[in-house]
Amino acid sequence: MSLKTGDEYVESIKSLGLKANLMGQKTGNLPENPLVEPSIRAVAATYDCAHHAETKPLFRVRSTISGEEINRFTHLHQSTEDLMNKVIMQRYCGNVTACCFQRCVGLDAANAVFSVTYECDREHGTDYHQRFRDYWSRIQLEDLVVDGAMTDPKGDRGKRPKDQTDPDLFLRVVERKPDGVVVRGAKFHQTGMLNSHEIIVMPTLNMRSGEEDWAICFAIPANAQGIRFIYGRQTSDTRKLEGLKLDVGNPTFGGQEVMTVFEDVFVPEERIFLNGEVNHSGLLVERFAAYHRQSYGGCKVGVGDVLIGAAALIARMNGVEKASHIRDKIVEMIHLNETMYACGIACSARGHQTLAGNYEIDMLLANVCKLNVTRFPYELARLATDIAGGLLGTMPSAKDLEDDVVGPYIKKYLAAADGVDVVDRMKVMRLIENLVAGAGSVAYLIESMHGAGPPMAQRIMIARQADLESKINLVKEILKID
Ligand code: SF4
Ligand code: FE
């Protein structure tokens, strides 16, 4: 057993020697790069929580594969309680980091691949499930971070993968060898990719007959030959290069998104978990997406708690804490945040066992959860912006605060309620700015809209799952209509 500490985890990522194209340069030693470091610190927090006395019971769980104690971020859910504990854990991590802590995608991918490989084997006589068990047992025992890579570039959205002018716009098998396959393509929006030891690649949509080369699922080390990383920009990201923690908003933590290119990467047979079984590709997409839609009912709520706290604190600092309209806005923020949490818990509590033995969330409720997440954080951000006031968009820099001439003016004129330290007030303003319009808004807002699929993807699933006919029958029954 090796439950790593945060620092041990950071060292293990360093040892992979990953390089990325970052702001025009091929860059190594990423964990120490000021643009990347906050994101790896956020992942490290998920390791440290497994060692703190008060959070240990939540973050540690026993593996059903090896019997060893593992981090819940690598767990195959064994009950509805496990599903709920996942959401509770994610909320906690959001509370601590106020950002995307990046480790959930691998967990969600693993639980989906675990059940889909089992069902695929039963139908096709393949041996993917045992392969995956062996693979995932190592991930659990070595306490690794796995990136779950699903989103393809998709090219012309009106065309199928095989009909694209460039067939690589959906990641595919370009060569079959006796001991594995060679793949080519790209995966977009890869959360925490450069903070991961391993990558699980999945198809992005339900493949059809004739699209076998695109129906591929496999795992590969992040430092495998032929993989290229291109770092994603975030709003105000270069503030991290200026050395002024105050202006960054979130002084310690941040998120990370990466575009990843697979240029003829060889995948050995034992790391392949789906290979041409098109009828199981859609199932994999659906399950992974649903687990990740559940996840947002935890992580975004945890970040929402911080935003609510910041809004309440800035109201206090501004001297308007007791104004009835401010109190009402804070209550509205809490209501929206807890509604998302209620959905995350509900889809977990109503979960069920899969044929493979692990637990899956209620699909309808997980999609309702995520559809709320595409809206409510925006409303929370609007209310926080309203409460904070216009200074949120006009406040001078920390450099000017240090200036001998203008610094005293800033301190004099940014004074608010008696006894409030001006710099503390600026810190709270910057944290709100980070979440509603800065680097943190990438995960808190844009990802809330598009992560785990955009609103229309949830609407399609809701329409499919809701059994509208049974509701019509209720009316017929009440009214005695044939
Ligand atoms: Fe986890 Fe949330 Fe980040 Fe997704 S957005 S990886 S669920 S913290
Ligand atoms: Fe996500």
Average pLDDT score over residue span 187-195: 97
Q: How far is CA 172 from CA 202, 228, 379, in A?
A: 10, 16, 39
pLDDT attached to residue 333: 98
Share of the chain above pLDDT 70, in %: 100
Does 443 contact ligand 1 (Cβ within 6 A)?
yes
Q: In this structure, are residues 207 and 214 in contact, taking their beta carbons and an 8 Å threshold?
A: yes
The answer, yes or no, to whether residue 1 has pLDDT greater than 80, is: no
Does 105 contact ligand 1 (Cβ within 6 A)?
yes
Which tokens sit at 389?
């006031």
- Over the chain, what is the mean pLDDT? 97
Average pLDDT score over residue span 354-359: 98
Average pLDDT score over residue span 132-138: 98
The third-level CATH classification (topology) of the domain covering 282-473 is: Butyryl-CoA Dehydrogenase, subunit A; domain 3 (1.20.140)
Residue owning the nearest CA to atom 5 of ligand 1: 100
The third-level CATH classification (topology) of the domain covering 6-277 is: Butyryl-CoA Dehydrogenase, subunit A; domain 2 (2.40.110)
Global pTM value: 0.97
pLDDT attached to residue 360: 98
Share of the chain above pLDDT 90, in %: 99
Strands 257-268, 180-191: pairing is: antiparallel
* pLDDT tens digit sequence for 146-166: 999 999 999 999 999 999 999
Boundaries of every domain in the chain: 6-277, 282-473
Does 193 contact ligand 1 (Cβ within 6 A)?
no
Average pLDDT score over residue span 49-65: 97
* 293, 295, 301, 370: residue to mutate for ligand 1 pocket, most atoms within 8 A of CB: 295
At residue 110's C-alpha, the angle toward residues 168 and 253, to 5°, is 85
pLDDT attached to residue 2: 80
Does 445 contact ligand 1 (Cβ within 6 A)?
no
* pLDDT tens digit sequence for 227-278: 999 999 999 999 999 999 999 999 999 999 999 999 999 999 999 999 999 9
pLDDT attached to residue 386: 98
Average pLDDT score over residue span 192-209: 97
- Catalytic residue positions? 100, 104, 191, 257, 292, 296, 299, 447
Rounded-to-integer distance, Cα 370 and Cα 374, Å? 6
Shortest-distance ligand to the CA of residue 294: 1
Average pLDDT score over residue span 395-420: 97
